[in-house]
Amino acid sequence: MSDNKKITLTIDGKTIQAESGQSIMNACDAQGIYIPRLCDSTGLVPQGSCRVCSVKVNGRVVAACTQPAEDGANIEHESDEIQGYRKDLVRMLFHEGNHLCPICEASGRCELQAMAYRFGISQATTYPYLQPVRPVDASHPDIALDNNRCILCGRCIRASRDVDGKNVFEYVGRGIHKRIGVNGDCLADTNADLNDYAMSLEVCPVGCIIRKGEGFFSPVGERQYDSDKIGSNIENHTAHSSLGKLIKVHQIDPNDAIHDDIDQSNVNEDKS
């Protein structure tokens, strides 16, 4: 995407350099400015669905993970208004599913929880709890899916499709009934494997994908986000166990083989 041409952006009044073609998020990451995110994960194609990375560019709110940085853009990132939206979005996700942190194995390394901690969310909202009743899929010998904790970030979908080349997951349904479907009657019907990248701890930001027989890796107090805020690795340019690891991504498009009549140069690389 990047053609190495240098451009200049202003973010919260600070001028930064970026490369033409970079997303706003990547440009900021490179400068140690962390824009909160949930559906985006290093190595996966950004899709801009959680909207937690909302920033205001020239007066319009956009998702920083998918919005290309444009020369001279004036970006509002940590204003009260934008922070307010982000808090609202994180709260919506908490209220949409059943996020019972005390009983969740992901607690302490959960990105949704960590995002709420980072935003300092401790007080009540007027949002109702939707308390969905979604089926738990424990059919697979090594992996269980507790869909009640799913925030529909779709990271497992992209990891399975683009990294593992498997398409174990895909979105099904729509609206508030949208959920992650599996390629079969249940997970045991699919070729999902514990060693898939999609099943690794880096991919599911919450406790929806559960690796059976593992868990509670670190004692309370020593867990990933107990003292380090989410995003601090970007802000401090430090290598981090999850984000510092580079994952090799093979883009696998099942359509390629049969549709070679399409001039690939014209096809938008961003398949999402």
Partner 1 sequence: MEHRKLIETSCSHFNNDPRRMLDILWQIQNSLGWISPDTMELIAQLTNTYRVEVEGVVTFYAFFMSKPQGQFVIHLCEDIIDRYAGMLPVQNAFEQILGIKVGETTKDGLFSLHLTSCIGMSDQAPAALINDMVVTNLSPNKTKILIRTLKKTRNLASLVKTFGDGNNSHELIKSMVNNNILLKGDVLLGDININAGLNKAFSLPPEEVIATVQASNFKGRGGAGYSSAKKWLAAAATQADKRFVICNADEGEPGTFKDRVLLTERAELLFEGMTTVAYAIGSQHGILYLRAEYRYLLPYLESLLTKRRNEGLLGTDILVDETENTRFSFDIRIQLGAGAYICGEETSLISSCEGKRGEPKNKPPFPAVSGYLGYPTVVNNVETFCNIPRIVDKGAEWFTSIGTPESSGTKLLSVCGDCTRPGIYEFPMGITLGEVLSLAGAKDPEAIQIGGASGVMVGRADFERQLCFEDLPTAGAIMIFSSQRNILEIADYFMHFFIEESCGYCTPCRVGNVFLKQGLEKIMAGKGETSDLKYLQDLGKTIIQTSRCGLGHSSPKPILSTMKNFPLVYAALLKEHPDGRQAGFNIQHALDESRIIAKRRSIVFDPDLGGD
Partner 2 sequence: MKKKRIATTSLAGCFGCHMSLLDIDERIFDLLELVEFDRSPLNDLKKFTRRCDIGLIEGGCCNEENVHVLREFRQNCDILVAVGQCAMMGGLPVMRNAIMHSDDPLRECLDEAFCTPKVLNPENQIPNDPALPLLLDKVYTCVDVVKIDYQIPGCPPSGETIWRALNALVKNEAPALEYDLIKYD
The residues binding partner 1 (CB under 8 A) are 47-52, 54, 61, 63, 66, 68, 84-85, 88-89, 92-93, 95-96, 126-128, 130, 151-152, 167-178, 181-185, 254-255, 257-259, 262-263, 266-268, 270, 272
Q: How does strand 6-11 pair with strand 14-19? A: antiparallel
Q: Which is nearer to partner 2, 65 or 110 (CB)?
A: 110
Q: Which is nearer to partner 2, 170 or 226 (CB)?
A: 226
What does the block give as tokens for 39?
């559906």
Q: CB burial class (10 A; 0-12, 13-18, 19+) of residue 109?
A: buried
Q: What share of the chain is helix, strand, coil (3-state, %, to 5)?
A: 25, 15, 60
We find the least distance from the C-beta atom of residue 128 to partner 2, in angstroms, to be 9
Q: Which span sits near partner 2 by CB under 8 A: 10-18, 33-41, 222-230, 254-262?
A: 222-230
From the list partner 1, partner 2, none, pick the one residue 177 interacts with, judged by a Cβ distance below 5 to 8 Å according to partner type.
Answer: partner 1
Residue 231 interacts with partner 2 (CB under 8 A): yes or no? no
Q: Which is nearer to partner 1, 109 or 166 (CB)?
A: 166
Structural element, H or E, at residue 85: helix 80-96
Sign of CA dihedral 57, 59, 61, 67: negative
From the list partner 2, partner 1, none, pick the one residue 105 interacts with, judged by a Cβ distance below 5 to 8 Å according to partner type.
Answer: none
Residues 84 and 128: their CA atoms lie apart, in Å, by: 18
Residues 239 and 227: their CA atoms lie apart, in Å, by: 16
Q: How does strand 6-11 pair with strand 74-76? A: parallel
Q: Which is nearer to partner 2, 6 or 177 (CB)?
A: 177
Residue 190 interacts with partner 2 (CB under 8 A): yes or no? no
* Contact pattern from residue 92 through residue 111 relative to partner 2, giving x for each residue in contact according to CB under 8 A and a dash for the rest: ------x-xxxxx--xx---
Q: Give the distance between the most distant pair of CA atoms in the chain.
A: 56
Task: Report which residue type is found at 224.
Answer: Q
Q: Which is nearer to partner 2, 46 or 108 (CB)?
A: 108
From the list partner 2, partner 1, none, pick the one residue 77 interacts with, judged by a Cβ distance below 5 to 8 Å according to partner type.
Answer: none
Buried b (16+ CB within 10 A) or exposed e, 165-175: ebbbbeeeeee
Q: Which span sits near partner 2 by CB under 8 A: 70-78, 117-125, 239-247, 261-269?
A: 117-125
Q: Interface with partner 2 by CB under 8 A: which residues?
A: 98, 100-104, 107-108, 113, 116-118, 120-124, 129, 131-133, 148, 220, 226-227, 229
